[in-house]
Structure 1
Amino acid sequence: MTDQSRLRYVKHRPRVFIVSDISNEPDDAQSMVRLLTYANELDIQGLVACTSCWMRTRVHPEDMHSIVSAYARVVDNLNAHVHPANPYPAAEYLASNIKSGPPVYGRQALAEDYPLSEGAQLLIDRADASDQPLWVLSWGGVNVLAQALKHVQETRPVAAAQAFRAKLRVYTISDQDDCGAWIRVTFPDVLYICSLHAWGEYGNATWTGISGDLLMKSLDAGGPDTSLVSKEWLATNIQQSGSPLGAVYPDVSFIMEGDTPTFLYLIPNGLGVPEQPSWGSWGGRYGLVDLGGSSRHYADTRDAVVGKDGATHLSGKASIWRWREAYQNDFAARMRWTLSPERSGVNHAPVVSVNDSGPGAEAYYIDAEAGSEVILDASASYDPDEEDRLEFAWYHYKEPTTTGSLVHWPAVPDVEFVPTLAAAAGAGAIVKVTIPPPEKCAVDILTGQPLPKGQVLHFILSVRDDGTPRLTTYKRVVVQVTNHQGRGGRDLGGKVFDTVTEAMGHSTGQETLAATGQ
């Protein structure tokens, strides 16, 4: 039987606070079922029922209790399949943290005579209880958060209110009441991830990459594998799995689990870095709306991904659906864990380490001189089930290098991962990477001057086993390119370009205007 102490261990579990308009439609309940299968790797601080533009005058905490009751029947089985230091919380604990938000729409809850809801009070208490960030994951309206922010602002000194907000991190599934824009304008210092589009135009939002291609037929058509989010897949792997938790997973009305990207973003599997929304994770990739620092609002950005059809698709949604096979397989495996405490016969995720990074989910940071060679050694990675073989795949994730960066370079250069001959470690476990030369990644394109620090490159190692279903763990290698020797500068004859267009050798149109006297 698998040694439980060799299973994946999470050193730092993100603190999460869920606010959901559960029972407006089935997808909130679906997301909550999946959420509870990750309750050993996410520190759930609150479950609050709220309103939204779709359900304005009622909240349904009782439906959260029903799902937690189903979880109570499987939590002992779940605990047999995770590292002893990452146990699942007791159902009684989760039930005690189910509260109600104000049963009114949006900013009606901010009226001077409207009482602070128990959900908002719990949010305040949970943020106060730790110096660690509290991720407020909003699956409906955000008047619970708005109430909490307004109350703190009005009852605490300015510095104390700022310190409170500094601990908050928000990921909302678009705006579903009139509080979202109010929060972002009133409290721009709160880190706030939210798709930016016209009201109700959800088809434009990154989060629809979870499964929206089934409903919105033109969404990256041909790219995502729709079979992995079909009713048939859900019935086989979740609803009819024999699990009491799977039995409370409702049928789809619109799209499967539209709210799930909020916590997929935080799952500590080695891919994402929560404090860096532009770096990407299972929950998508987002960039700052204003690089000038006036607010911390992150909105949709795009990934270029080769889809199932072999074509390259460029969209925000692709930053989620690109990981679909991995996150669906992971959910299916965890649902199987709920059936029995026996660890044999079910699959568990690989444990991944690169060089001296250790086996945790934290990114591995290195400095590397432009043009140098770097060895990345993942041979210490292992499969806790022992009988499974591991497949190593390295990927250069270019988009995080460009998103939100002040422009110095016209492009992110390619790199090649060259396997070494250490076959015993597994094909691809050890690779050699040549960092691009300085003129490609460490020279200011406008001035031609070498930069001591050039681009930051992102390499993703994906380690997948061959169990059933196949499971994946990642390691992100973040490479700060350096150029301490000042190499690669261009002699521009004293000229400094005014525009990137001109620096790249293209016309700015000024010549035509000058010739015509305009």
Structure 2
Amino acid sequence: MSSTASFNPRSFPTRPRVFILSDISNEPDDAESLVRYLLYSNQFETEGLVACTSTWMKQKNPYPSADFFRSLIKSGPATYGMSAVGDDIPLSEGGKHLLARLEAPLEQPLWVLCWGGTNVLAQVLHHIQKTHSPASAAALRSKLRVYAISDQDDTGSWIRNRFPDVFYIASVHAWNQYGLAAWTGISGDRYYGFDHGGPDFSKMTKEWIKEHIQIGPLGRAYPDYMFIPEGDTPTFLYLIQNGLGVPEHPEYGSWGGRYGMTDVSGFGVAARHYSDVADRVTGQDGRTHFSNHATIWRWRDAFQRDFAARMQWTLSPDVSKANHHPVVTVNGNTGLEPVHIECEAGGTVVLNTDGTYDPDGDSLSFNWTHYREPTATQWWVEAEVTELEFKKLDDEGRKVEITLPPPEKCCVDLISGEARKKGQLLHVILEVTDNGSPSLTSYRRVLIQTTNEHLKGGRQGADAVGDIMQGFA
């Protein structure tokens, strides 16, 4: 691609509000995650950094000083779990700060990223319930968005059971069985032994980190890892504004993984807990791997290249000496939000990237994929979601044509066989990668709502999904 007339990088007019609870100094991974977080702080409105306890550090609350975050740093209760929650127990300084940010008259939700225990959050929720009317308390809870790195004290399950209306992302597994959690997909394949041969660990080795990350003033603060590197990082990778993730939709998938509603029964209070789902991903061994971990490690090459590039940004004030992300336009839309299209089943959709550019004038490559798992309602994705094919309309793939499945494949209820006017929501992911060093990838998600105006394709229903899928066995 030819050089742009002037340097014009991506801007972020709206930034997620972020409040971090961290058991930092327990082991190196929190400090590692904080280093990476600082590199992405231009994308967030950071509103709190609270040192908390966890099962791994029950009575200690130190936190390293940092001028940039000094006014945000508070201490949570220096005691473990539910021992910090009760009618006669005052809010900790961290709890007071979290309450103040939650009560701030702002429309944007507050993302509470839990790198350790959650007793600071539990304190605040208990206080709100005790001091506010039911309607006022519910309104405050509706502003919360929680992403917890499993349960690291006994308050996580208490919160989800006591306040099921809190938007809460967390892997659910037996105590301390972290190898079962989706978030370990960031780097835990060798330590925990999952998906053998699938993930590429080359950009997670201590040698790669030493060469690409532990450089410059900030990089030198990145410690060597002990168990797995950066176990807490998926909480904010989930919020990275790169055109891939949609924070209000954990089921869509992002660098921070993909999660689904734990309870969709619709009975009683509408529970908003999201837990692990699985993706099918072709690994470096050429085999298909199907796991919750794959929802994160599938993006590892891209988010590690991104990390290395941002660390380069810290080495010089001259922007021309570092690489920057492509800015992607699809069908005239240059934002970061998904592109929405409606199309009748069996019809065609043309996607055009005219206007896409690289701020540094680098050459660009275009890769289109059908992300099938977010559409599926069952485990057997291949039987439920027909794979889309992309027809290139130019040599580089800047413009493609997609033919949608016929109505019986995308606009019919799986069990009842009833034809629907609105069928499957199909997810198309565009990856645009430059040839800079390190190369950087930007994304756009295209959401294609299939329609069936004349209710074609209906069939006789069945009593069980297995009956429907017998023909696929």
Give the TM-score taking structure 1 as reference length: 0.87
Aligned partner of 2:372 in structure 1 is: 398
Q: Which residue of 2 aligns with 1:389?
A: 363
Q: Which amino acid aligns with 2:42?
A: N
Equivalent residue for 1:431? 400
User: Deviations along 1:51-83, whole A, 9 cap, x unmatched?
Assistant: 00010011113x1x2xx34xxxxxxxxxxxxxx
Pairing partner for 1:54 from 46, 53, 56: 56
Aligned to 1:118: 93
In 2, Cα distance between equivalents of 1:264 and 1:136 = 13
1:31 aligned partner: 33
User: How much has 1:499 moved relative to structure 2?
Assistant: 2.2
The reply to whether residue 498 of structure 1 matches residue 473 of structure 2 is no
> Is 1:324 matched up with 2:300?
yes
Q: In 2, distance between residues paired with 1:500 and 1:60?
A: 53
Q: Counterpart of 2:22?
A: 20
Q: Which residue of 1 aligns with 2:207?
A: 232
1:333 partner SS: helix
Look up the match of 1:367. Answer: 342
Q: Which residue of 1 aligns with 2:261?
A: 288
CA distance in 1, matches of 2:378, 2:248: 14
For structure 2, the 5+ residue unaligned runs are none
The answer to whether the 8 A contact 1:409-1:445 is kept is: no
> For residue 449 of structure 1, what is the aligned residue in structure 2?
418
Partner of 2:107: 131
Distance 2:103 2:314 in 1: 34
CA deviation profile, 1:305-335 (whole Å, cap 9, x unmatched): 1111111111111111111111011111111
Distance, in Å, in 1 between the alignment partners of 2:424 and 2:325 is 32
Q: Is the 8 A contact 1:123 1:148 kept in 2?
A: yes
1:44 matched to which residue of 2? 46
Partner residue, 2:10 = 8
Q: Distance in 1 between matches of 2:343 and 2:456?
A: 14
Q: Does the CA-based 8 Å contact 1:287-1:404 persist in structure 2?
A: no
Structure 1 Cα separation of the partners of residues 280 and 229 of structure 2: 23
Sort the Cα spacing of 1:177 and 1:408 in 2 relative to 1 into closer, same or farther, 3 A: closer
> Is 1:213 the counterpart of 2:189 in the alignment?
yes
Once residues 397 and 264 of structure 2 are traced to their aligned partners in structure 1, the CA distance between those partners, rounded to angstroms, is 38
> Which residue of 1 is the match for residue 458 of structure 2?
489
Cα displacement (A) at 1:505 = 4.5
The separation in 2 between residues aligned to 1:99 and 1:404, in whole angstroms, is 44
Match of 2:162 among 186, 190, 193: 186
Q: Percent of aligned positions with the same letter in both sequences?
A: 55
The counterpart of 2:134, out of the listed 158, 166, 177, is 158
Q: In structure 2, what is the equivalent of residue 262 of structure 1?
A: 235
The gaps in structure 1 that reach 5 residues or longer are: 70-90, 507-518
Q: Is the contact between residue 279 and residue 285 of structure 1 (CA under 8 Å) also seen in structure 2? A: yes
Deviation at 1:127?
Answer: 1.6
Q: How far apart are 1:277 and its partner, in Å?
A: 0.5
**Residues 439/289 of structure 1: CA separation in 2 closer, same or farther (3 Å cut):** same
Please give the per-residue CA displacement for 1:68-114, whole angstroms capped at 9, x wherever unaligned.
Answer: 34xxxxxxxxxxxxxxxxxxxxx2xx210111100000001013332
Change (3 A) 1:505 1:34: closer
**2:224 is the counterpart of 1:251:** yes
How many residues align structurally? 466
Q: For 2:291 and 2:446, how far apart are their aligned partners in 1? A: 24
Contact 1:419 1:431 in 2 (8 A): yes
Q: CA deviation at 1:11?
A: 2.8
- 1 CA distance for matches of 2:287 and 2:382? 27
- Taking a change above 3 Å as real, the CA distance of residues 213 and 409 of structure 1, as seen in their structure-2 partners, is closer
Match of 1:85 in 2: none
Pairs within 5 Å for 1:137-176: 137-176=113-152
Which residue of structure 2 aligns with residue 312 of structure 1? 288
Judged with a 3 Å threshold, the aligned counterparts in structure 2 of structure 1 residues 18 and 342 are, in CA distance, closer, same or farther, namely same
Q: Which amino acid aligns with 1:334?
A: R
1:448 Cα shift? 3.3
Question: Are the equivalent residues in 1 in contact too, given 2:372–2:381 (CA < 8 A)?
Answer: no
> Match for residue 458 of structure 1?
427
Q: What residue identity is the alignment partner of 2:97? A: L
What TM-score results when the alignment is normalised by the length of structure 2?
0.95
Structure 1 residues 205-232: Cα deviation after superposition (integer angstroms, max 9, x where no partner): 000011112322x211111111111101
Q: How many Å apart are 1:131 and its aligned residue?
A: 1.8
CA displacement 1:277-323 (0-9 Å, x = unmatched)? 01100000111111114411111110111111111111111111111
Larger Rg: 1
Aligned partner of residue 6 in structure 1, secondary structure: coil
Cα shift at 1:443: 1.6
CA distance in 2, matches of 1:207, 1:448: 37
Where 2:202 maps in the other structure, the secondary structure is helix
Indicate yes or no: 2:443 matched with 1:474. yes
2:341 maps to 1:353: no
Q: What residue in structure 2 maps to residue 416 of structure 1? A: 389
8 A contact 2:114–2:148 mirrored in 1: yes
